[in-house]
Amino acid sequence: MIRFEQVGKRYPGGIAALAELTFAVESGEMIVLSGHSGAGKTTLLKLIPAIERPTQGSVIVNGQNVAALKRAAVPFLRRNIGMVFQDQKLLHDRSVFENVMLPLAIAGVATRDAGRRVRAALDKVGLLEREKAMPVALSGGEQQRLAIARAVVARPSILIADEPTAHLDDDTARDIAAMFRAFNQVGVTVLVATHHESLFAPYMTRRITLAHGKVVA
C-alpha cells in the first residue's frame, strides 16, 4: 500500500531531513513511528500525501509514485488519506459541523448524505452534541477529536497522524489512541508518529524507529 524506496529529502541550505529510507507498509497495518525530536518523522508523514516531495527516491502510495504526480492529481491522491497534523488547521470561523463537512463538500458528496456522514464521524469521536459549537469553545482534547473526525469523514483507506496525543491529559490521550485502534480494526491503515509509544504499543503491528533521518530499527 505504501512503499518508500531509497527516499531522501533535503531542504535549502543542504539540510538533510531524510536519507536512504526503504520500507513498506501493508494494507491494514498500524505502524508507530518513533524517534528523537528532529529525527524526520513529520517529514516522512508529509511525503505520503505529497505535502512534501522527496529529493530522491520513490514514494509509492496505492500504486502511484507520489514524487512524479502532477499538481492537479494531488487532490485525488489525498481523497484516500486522512491527515492529522499538529497544526490542526481548523477553520475558526466555522462550526464543528462545518469543519467536518468541508472535505465532503470539496469532494462533491451530496448534501444529505454528507450530513449523515458528518454526524456519524462526530459521534465516533464523542462530539455529536457539540456540532454547533465553534472551535474556540472546545478544549484542546476536543479540538484534537474534531481534527480526527475531519480526517476520517471521507472514509480514507490510510490515516496518518503526527503527535496526535501531544499536550493532552492522560485520559484524553488514551481515548485518542483507542480511536486510532478502532479505525484500524475496520481496515484503515494507520501510521502514527508519537513520543507516547506506550499508548499505541498494545495496538501496533510494527514500530519504525528513525534517527537523524534514517531508519535504525
pLDDT tens digits, one per residue of 128-167: 999 999 999 999 999 999 999 999 999 999 999 999 998 8
Last residue of a domain, one of 108, 139, 154: 154
* CATH number of residue 71's parent domain: 3.40.50.300
Residue the block writes with cell 469532494: 107
Q: Are residues 5 and 64 in the same domain?
A: yes
The answer as to whether 85 is a domain residue is: no
Residue 186 cell numbers, joined: 475496520
Q: Which residues pair with 2 in a beta bridge?
A: 25, 61
For 41-78, write each residue's pLDDT tens digit: 999 999 999 999 999 999 999 999 998 999 999 998 99
The answer as to whether 194 is a domain residue is: yes
User: Angle at CA 180, nearest 5°, toward 42 and 113?
Assistant: 105
The answer as to whether 86 is a domain residue is: no
Q: Are residues 53 and 150 in the same domain?
A: no
Contact assessment for residue 41 and residue 161, using Cβ atoms and an 8 Å cutoff:
no
Q: Provide the pLDDT for residue 217.
A: 87
What pTM, to 2 d.p., does this model score?
A: 0.93
131 vs 150: CA distance, rounded Å? 12
Q: Are residues 4 and 36 in the same domain?
A: yes
201 vs 69: CA distance, rounded Å? 34
List Cβ neighbours of 58 (8 Å cut-off, separation of 6 or more).
Answer: 3, 4, 5, 6, 7, 65, 67
Own/partner pairs, 69-77, CB within 8 angstroms, 24+ separation? 74/49, 74/50, 75/106, 77/49, 77/50
User: Is residue 149 helix, strand or coil?
Assistant: helix
Last residue of a domain, one of 136, 154, 172: 154
Residue 26 has pLDDT above 90, yes or no: yes
Give the domain range for residue 196.
1-80+156-217
CA 62 to mean position of chain CA atoms: 16
Between the CA of residue 166 and those of 44, 48, 187, 194, what are the distances in Å? 18, 21, 25, 8
Contact assessment for residue 181 and residue 161, using Cβ atoms and an 8 Å cutoff:
no
User: Is residue 152 helix, strand or coil?
Assistant: helix
Q: Are residues 37 and 95 in the same domain?
A: no
Q: Are residues 132 and 173 in the same domain?
A: no
Q: Provide the pLDDT for residue 207.
A: 95
Residue 88 has pLDDT above 90, yes or no: no
Q: Are residues 66 and 141 in the same domain?
A: no
Total domain count for the chain? 2
pLDDT band at 13, cuts 50/70/90?
A: confident
Residue 61 cell numbers, joined: 502510495
